[in-house]
């Protein structure tokens, strides 16, 4: 999994990044164009309260990848806490055999 080295979210620009729902609806094309150019999230408000955040597809993908990574790390930590570990001296020969005609079964 490849993670980008940048934050998927820039700071919300208060003057342009917080938009009432009515304004967003009437100027959606303009806001979506800006979103693609500046890669800053847009916070949509209704009655003065935030109700939605609009992200570019690229920012959403970075967040999705980061979530997958964090879930994998949490799974590994849970396995380690539960004692589900395999010593490296057992794993190394298995890894070296990958893709060969003498590939070994995974260690248990």
Whether the predicted pLDDT of 97 surpasses 90:
yes
Cβ burial, residue 59 (10 Å; 0-12/13-18/19+): buried
45 dihedral zone (left: phi>0; alpha: psi -120 to 50; beta): beta
pTM over 0.85: no
Whether the predicted pLDDT of 10 surpasses 80:
no
Beta bridge partners of 34: none
Q: Domain tally for the chain?
A: 1
In a domain, 79, yes or no: yes
Print the domain residue range for 44: 14-97
* Confidence bin at 38 (pLDDT 50/70/90): confident
For residues 62 and 4, is the Cβ–Cβ distance under 8 A?
yes
pLDDT digits (tens, 9 = 90+) for 71-93: 999 999 999 999 988 888 888 99
* Confidence bin at 106 (pLDDT 50/70/90): confident
Whether the predicted pLDDT of 98 surpasses 80:
yes
For residues 17 and 10, is the Cβ–Cβ distance under 8 A?
no
Instruction: Look at residue 67 in the predicted model and tell me its pLDDT.
Output: 96
* Confidence bin at 12 (pLDDT 50/70/90): low
In a domain, 64, yes or no: yes
The Cα–Cα gap between 28 and 89 comes to 58
Cβ burial, residue 41 (10 Å; 0-12/13-18/19+): buried
CATH number of 26's domain: 3.40.1620.10
């Amino acid at each position: 999994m490849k993670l980008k080295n940048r934050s998927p979210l820039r700071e919300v620009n208060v003057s342009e990044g917080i938009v009432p729902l009515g304004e967003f609806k009437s100027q959606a094309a303009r806001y979506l164009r800006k979103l693609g150019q500046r890669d800053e999230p847009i916070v949509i408000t209704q009655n003065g309260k935030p109700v939605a955040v609009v992200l570019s597809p690229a920012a959403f993908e970075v967040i999705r990848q980061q979530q997958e990574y964090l879930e994998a790390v949490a799974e590994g930590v849970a396995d380690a806490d539960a004692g589900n570990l395999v010593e490296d001296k057992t794993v190394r020969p298995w890894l070296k055999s990958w893709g060969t005609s003498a590939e070994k079964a995974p260690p248990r």
